Amino acid sequence: MSRLTIEASTPLCLLQDAGRFGVRHLGVTQGGATDWRSMSWANWLLGNNLDAAVIEITLGGFTVVAEQDCVLALAGADLGAQVDGEALAPWRSFRLHKGQRLQLTQPLLGARAYLAAPGGFDAPKVLGSAATVVREALGGLDGMGRALSQGANLGYSGNSVMLLRELTADQRPDLNLNAPLDLVLGAQIGEFSGQSLFDAFNSTWSLDSRADRMGIRLLGTALQYQGKPMISEGIPLGAVQVPPDGQPIVLLNDRQTIGGYPRLGALTPLALARLAQCLPGAQVRLRPVVQDVAYREQVEYLQRF
């Protein structure tokens, strides 16, 4: 088994994969990489399964040292990556020789980078996944939901002898893209005032600094719900809830499993991947779509792999 040693880390650096499925009836949330596109491309660069365990590095502050010669891959945000002081751009696989140091410093473009190793990083599967959910104490290197820490070892068992690969310009997700975020309309959409529906899809929303892997609050014109109080129901990934203060909250991978706030709908998987790369204060807009359109776009994107 090959390994990397962590020299520096933060509470925002986590082991992730595609997440847990089939367990929400137990009150266990999904977890997993918030930008699934970048995770998938990082794994694709090494010939891994697209859902193999990777390191999700949010905002930088992460350094590893190679214990053996190896080939790794980096995708997602440009967090000022360097190998022994030499700049390393994302969306490529690269060689790291024994004793060399990979450092990700701070955001230059985007918020989350994904580091992949041959075969995926080794970690115990808890309820079918190694995804780290700190709040539920599940997943991660020891299965106890802990963030990656200084001095820990990242092991992997895949073959690191391979040709280097780099994504072409048309393969790379555009982290500068300023297009609206597509939202599939939800069951309560008709219970909001007409003015609120206009504002929801014709206004610019600012991402609040009060954000984590559970959800991101959108700041803007308060929306008004006019329906009856709801009984709590299941919450899908990307659900856009509107609490009594009228400021929408986009629920992410570590969300609660049920909730009783009305919803505008849910962001599409592609929109969620783009949102995961936005920093606090970024401006976004919402665009309504029907489920058939969202499904077709998702299938077309997955066919690129």
Tell whether the model's pLDDT for residue 210 goes beyond 90: no
What's the chain's average pLDDT?
Answer: 96
Do residues 231 and 259 make contact, with C-beta atoms less than 8 angstroms apart? Answer: no
> Domain end: 106, 121, 156, which one?
156
* Per-residue confidence (pLDDT) for residue 168, from 0 to 100: 95
**DSSP conformation letters of 69-90:** -EEEEEEEEE---EETTEE--S
Tell whether the model's pLDDT for residue 208 goes beyond 70: yes
- One domain for residues 150 and 14: yes
pLDDT, one tens digit per residue, over 214-226 is 999 999 999 999 9
Count how many domains the chain has: 2
Tell whether the model's pLDDT for residue 161 goes beyond 70: no
pLDDT, one tens digit per residue, over 17-59 is 999 999 999 999 999 999 999 999 999 999 999 999 999 999 9
* Per-residue confidence (pLDDT) for residue 148, from 0 to 100: 98
Average pLDDT over residues 245-257: 97
pLDDT, one tens digit per residue, over 94-136 is 999 999 999 999 999 999 999 999 999 999 999 999 999 999 9
Query: Is residue 166, in this structure, part of any structural domain at all?
Result: no
Least Cα distance to 89 among 125, 45, 127, 47 occurs for: 45
Average pLDDT over residues 248-256: 97
Query: Is residue 163, in this structure, part of any structural domain at all?
Result: no
> Domain end: 121, 156, 191, which one?
156
Query: Is residue 13, in this structure, part of any structural domain at all?
Result: yes
The secondary structure element, H or E, covering residue 263 is strand 263-267
- One domain for residues 124 and 222: no
- One domain for residues 216 and 152: no
Do residues 224 and 192 make contact, with C-beta atoms less than 8 angstroms apart? Answer: yes
Least Cα distance to 158 among 117, 189, 194, 106 occurs for: 117
- One domain for residues 6 and 145: yes
- One domain for residues 148 and 185: no
Average pLDDT over residues 261-269: 97
Do residues 39 and 58 make contact, with C-beta atoms less than 8 angstroms apart? Answer: no
The secondary structure element, H or E, covering residue 36 is helix 36-45
- One domain for residues 259 and 121: no
Q: Both tokens of residue 171?
A: 């393969």
* Per-residue confidence (pLDDT) for residue 17, from 0 to 100: 98
pLDDT, one tens digit per residue, over 68-92 is 999 999 999 999 999 999 999 999 9
- One domain for residues 190 and 151: no
pTM over the 0.85 mark:
yes
| CA distance linking residue 95 with residue 104, whole number of Å | 16
Residue 235 DSSP class: -
Tell whether the model's pLDDT for residue 265 goes beyond 90: yes
- One domain for residues 202 and 142: no
Tell whether the model's pLDDT for residue 157 goes beyond 70: yes
> Domain end: 94, 122, 156, which one?
156
- Sign of the dihedral through C-alpha 192, 198, 202, 203: negative
Query: Is residue 170, in this structure, part of any structural domain at all?
Result: no
- One domain for residues 141 and 201: no
- One domain for residues 146 and 202: no
Do residues 92 and 73 make contact, with C-beta atoms less than 8 angstroms apart? Answer: yes
* Per-residue confidence (pLDDT) for residue 177, from 0 to 100: 85
Q: Say which residue, 188 or 1, is predicted with more confidence.
A: 188
| CA distance linking residue 138 with residue 157, whole number of Å | 22
Give me the domain span that covers residue 111.
Answer: 2-156
* Per-residue confidence (pLDDT) for residue 202, from 0 to 100: 97
Phi, psi values for residue 125, rounded to 5°: -85, 125
Q: Which residue has the tokens 């030499």?
A: 86
Query: Is residue 168, in this structure, part of any structural domain at all?
Result: no
Residue 259's SS3 state is strand
Q: What CATH number corresponds to the domain at position 228? A: 2.40.100.10
